[in-house]
Structure 1
Amino acid sequence: MRVISLLVVLLSWSWMLLVQQSGLAADVLSKLDTREVLIGQPFEVKYSISNQLVKFSPYWDYSSFDDRVDLVVIESNEEEVEGAFLLRMNLVLFDTGSIVIPQIKVISNLINELDTFYSRELEVAVFAPDDFVAELLPIRDILGEPVGKSRNWYWITVVLILLTLALLILFFFHKRKNRLAMEQRIKEVNPNEEALSALHTLGEEGLIEKGEINHYHSELNYIFRRWIERRFEIDALGMTGQELSVHLRSIGVEDEKIRDWTDMLRTIDGIKYARGKPSGDFHENVFVEVKEMVERELERDRQSKEKE
């Protein structure tokens, strides 16, 4: 048995060596019908593999062509002619220059369980026709083409965002313009006339009769401080009585006026925190004194203008 097994192994090795050395099955021959083609012009490539000693069924694998965007397989045919296996392929190239056609594989069970043989790469020179002109689509036509729903929604969103921003900007400038216009109108109103108008409105509200004493004197305090602030362009509303006195003195206001005005502010503030309730005449007298202070300054301003 050992002798028989040894003979079988020796015969197998001898057979494999004979097949490999024959060179008939290890080569995939390739042939071009032309070496120069025009771009887009079909041409034929022929591949063949043969073996006269052993019968086998090859599998042609040209999947490497699928990765090429410039190479298109129009048609492929497989056939067997007298022990040779042929693959005919009609190809088209869509690029110019020296183009390399990739290898193809032939898979068979000729020698081992699965054997693979490769063709060589082929090189083709591709030219453009003399009258070839690349066709370009007009930009206007491209822009005029309808777009899909997703593209439409994209542009709609962009337009809505831009419109929203534009409206916000317009609203901001409109509001700012109104504020500036109001500030300008306030500046144009004489501080004395503004204070007298506010005092008239306060008197018409009847807060004393309603028992809203603190509210009444808070409004009176605001009107009086606002009048000083606008008249001398200082922050009278944000100052204490002492700070206001020092500031008025620093800008040259007469001491008598400073004393009268700060005393009046202390009187108005004191009423809000007083435990007892002053009589109605007291509130009326404070109101009249504030009004007379404003009217005296108004009259002095008129006299100064007349002298000018």
Structure 2
Amino acid sequence: MKNPLRYIPIFLLNFICLSAFAQLQVQAKADKQKLFIGDQFRLNISVTGDQNAITGFPIADSLPGFELIEQGKIDTSIQGGMVLLQQELVLTSFDSGRQVIPPFHLEVGDRIYRSDSIPIEVTYSPNGVPQEYHDIKDIQEVKGDINWLYWIAGVGSLLALVLIFFWWRKNRNKHPAIKRYEHLSPYEEAMKLLNDLETEEMPVKERYTRLTYIFRIFLKRKFNWNAFGKTTYDLLLEVEKTPLPEDDYKLLAQTLRTCNLVKFAKYEPAPNEHSTHIGSIRHIIKSLNNQP
């Protein structure tokens, strides 16, 4: 008869692993949940857990309705035997109404840990209204000379600020300037753009930004998705609904996360990895194009 005691170490090991994962927690906290248009607020993202359970950190990809002003470094500390990773973002919003910061997520093994979503109320600054009204007085002559230079300088400065604001609004979500081939099919255009990307010389960040952009162009044209209005996480959820094989889906997720690390965390892949990542996106596009 087999000795049942030999299963105890395996049971204890599973119990320890499950306990470590159970203690992992992803949180997001904002120092303000009501603000005026253009006001800045701070968002703290943290991951707490056992050292062996934490395998990454949520990436602040894009937050619809908000603008990223500053992105702090990821700080590491130990509290009560647990590892704490923290990052602080400075955000603002120019869209009035109720905006929502979506949950940040972290994949560990087969599990996904998410923070709570955070509602943010963005309102216009209230105008001061006099408490008392008085009769209209006659026009009185102002004594003294008026320095028109001050008026001209003030009006000129105001116009310059208005022009800068509209220029910023126009260019904040501007896509990379690349040559398009819209007369081709979505698949043919994607292949042509990937070939151009592989042969052109450019900085690493621009290369991986274009790689993500080419993949989103294909999804928008092929499936009519709002590919440019979704985060990487939301985009992967949409792709998961397609008949794409599981191995291809994992390859896509890994490649897109690498692109985000290059764009937002200053990660620099080895030169020989550039062709590998471009080839991965080329393979995924071929698989999606062959789907019914």
Shorter-chain TM-score tier: 0.3 to 0.5
- Provide TM-score, normalisation by structure 2: 0.37
Q: Mark the structure with the bigger radius of gyration.
A: 1
TM-score normalised according to structure 1 size: 0.35
- Higher relative contact order structure (alpha carbons within 8 Å, sequence separation ≥ 6): 2
